[in-house]
Amino acid sequence: MKQTIQLLIALVLCWSLMACGGGEKATNNADSTQADTAEANKTTEATEVSEESPELSEEAQPFVKKWSMTSFSHNDGRKEENISNRILNLKEDGTFEEFFNKRVIASGTWNVSKEGERQMLVLTHKTGEMSTELKDGEEKLTVKEISADKMITEDDGGKMSETFVPASE
């Protein structure tokens, strides 16, 4: 009986030492962990950008610039002119940002497509109120005129027309 008790005590001591790690010093892998995390973040960012940014069609090249809205008109006769606080930045990587008073109000991807004879500027909203209001966040604008110094668009229902000029930096 005495030997059994001694054996049990020895086993408890061994388990205690094993649970404590046997006094081995822990290694600090903070540097390698940070490097691994940074590399994973770069990979993730690259994947997100490539998934998000469509390849632009050749017809889209004249649109690539920062546009400032100068006026818009509704089919009910209302017209707003001399607007200077609304910017639509169509970037070469296929993304866009829309600003109001220098604050981003929407962002997403964009491209140009043809629907019959109509040239369409297609904005797919990822953020902003249009991302939830529109089906799949997609806004289609008929391009009425495009040149180096002017762009006129009309919404899909023909309710509103917008006039843009290149924005001054």
**pLDDT one-digit tens code per residue, 15-62:** 666 666 655 555 555 555 555 555 555 444 443 444 455 678 778 889
Helix (H) / strand (E) containing 152:
strand 150-155
Global confidence as pTM: 0.63
Which single residue is written with the structure tokens 């953020």? 127
Question: Phi and psi at residue 149, in whole multiples of 5°?
Answer: -120, 10
Helix (H) / strand (E) containing 24:
none
Bigger pLDDT: 21 or 82? 82
Measured CA angle at 162 (ends 161, 163), to 5 deg: 130
Check residue 150 and give its pLDDT: 95
Q: Which residues lie across from 155 on neighbouring strands? A: 141
Domain covering 58-166 in this structure, CATH number = 2.40.128.280
Check residue 53 and give its pLDDT: 56
